[in-house]
């Protein structure tokens, strides 16, 4: 089965450090999403891309978060500087716009980030 | 803005029995999709079933079926013949057919299967 690959699976870092999370979407998918899951807020959208262009990043704290797609096979989410409140599970999901995207998106296994 | 409400934080069911998880949503749109995702302890979000709002027929996937009531804005998930592997968090989600394609999730229901 095709899958969305996220690395690292776990990350523990000290406050103030830069964190980079990576996502390899399913080959051929042109839409990529970043979600964050916390106990308090649940699952919330941070940003999403279509054909590598950002379509919505309104859920992302702009002062410290950045999301990019250097190419069609890689999406990155960076936090600089990291803070304890950023501790969460970060999910990447991908889908194919126009054909089949109504079938729901495929999620990766997530990156569990702990900022101490 | 759309909202999704899951009013049952936890549910439990005996193995082999049937359980229904509730979901309601609020929207002014007429065209949209609804989904149920399963999140087991492994953390992976797995699509269980989806429903297009324009379809009157309720979706079914093996032991999983939905009761979609568009006028009532209700979208419940029924799991028949519950199995130990069904134990997980279940999230209801909404997506507009047009415009922003993000999924709006409910807060989830933790399902426990009693052997």
- Nearest-neighbour CA in chain B from A107: distance (Å): 6
Contact A42 B105 (CB under 8 A): yes
The residue in chain B having the minimum alpha-carbon distance to the alpha carbon of residue A93 is B45
pLDDT tens by residue, A51-74: 999 998 888 988 999 999 999 999
Q: Which residues pair with A107 in a beta bridge?
A: A93
pLDDT of res. A103: 64
The answer to whether A104 and A31 are in contact (CB under 8 A) is: no
Distance CA A15, CA A113 (A): 12
Q: Which residues pair with B13 in a beta bridge?
A: B113
Q: Is A66 on the interface with B (CB under 8 A)?
A: no
Greatest C-alpha distance within chain A: 43
Given B46, B50, B102, which is nearest A56 (Cβ)?
B102
A22 pLDDT above the threshold of 80: yes
| Cβ contacts from A onto B, under 8 A | 52
Report residue A98's pLDDT band, with 50, 70 and 90 as the boundaries. low
Q: Over chain A, what is the mean pLDDT?
A: 92
pLDDT tens series, chain B, 115 aa:
889 999 999 999 999 999 999 999 999 999 899 999 999 998 989 999 999 998 889 999 999 999 999 999 999 999 999 999 999 999 999 998 887 788 999 999 999 999 9
The residue in chain A having the minimum alpha-carbon distance to the alpha carbon of residue B108 is A42
pLDDT of res. A49: 93
């Amino acid at each position: 089965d095709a899958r969305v690959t996220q690395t690292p699976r776990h990350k523990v870092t000290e406050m103030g450090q830069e964190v980079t999370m990576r996502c390899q979407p399913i080959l051929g998918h042109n839409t990529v999403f970043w979600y964050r899951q916390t106990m308090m807020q649940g699952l919330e959208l941070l940003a999403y891309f279509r054909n590598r262009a950002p379509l919505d990043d309104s859920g992302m704290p702009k002062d410290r978060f950045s999301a990019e797609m250097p190419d069609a096979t890689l999406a990155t989410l960076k936090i600089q500087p990291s803070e304890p409140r950023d501790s969460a599970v970060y999910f990447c999901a991908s889908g194919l716009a126009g054909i089949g995207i109504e079938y729901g998106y495929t999620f990766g296994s997530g990156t569990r980030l702990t900022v101490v | 803005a759309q909202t999704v409400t899951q009013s049952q934080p936890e549910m439990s069911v005996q193995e082999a029995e049937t359980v229904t998880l509730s979901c309601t949503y609020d929207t002014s749109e007429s065209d949209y999709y609804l989904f149920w995702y399963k999140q087991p302890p492994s953390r992976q979000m797995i699509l269980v079933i989806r429903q297009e709002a324009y379809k009157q027929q309720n979706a079914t996937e093996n032991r999983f079926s939905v009761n979609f009531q568009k006028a009532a804005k209700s979208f419940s998930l029924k799991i028949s013949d519950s199995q130990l592997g069904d134990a997980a968090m279940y999230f209801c989600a909404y997506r507009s057919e047009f415009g922003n394609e993000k999924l709006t999730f409910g807060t989830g229901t933790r399902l426990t299967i009693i052997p």
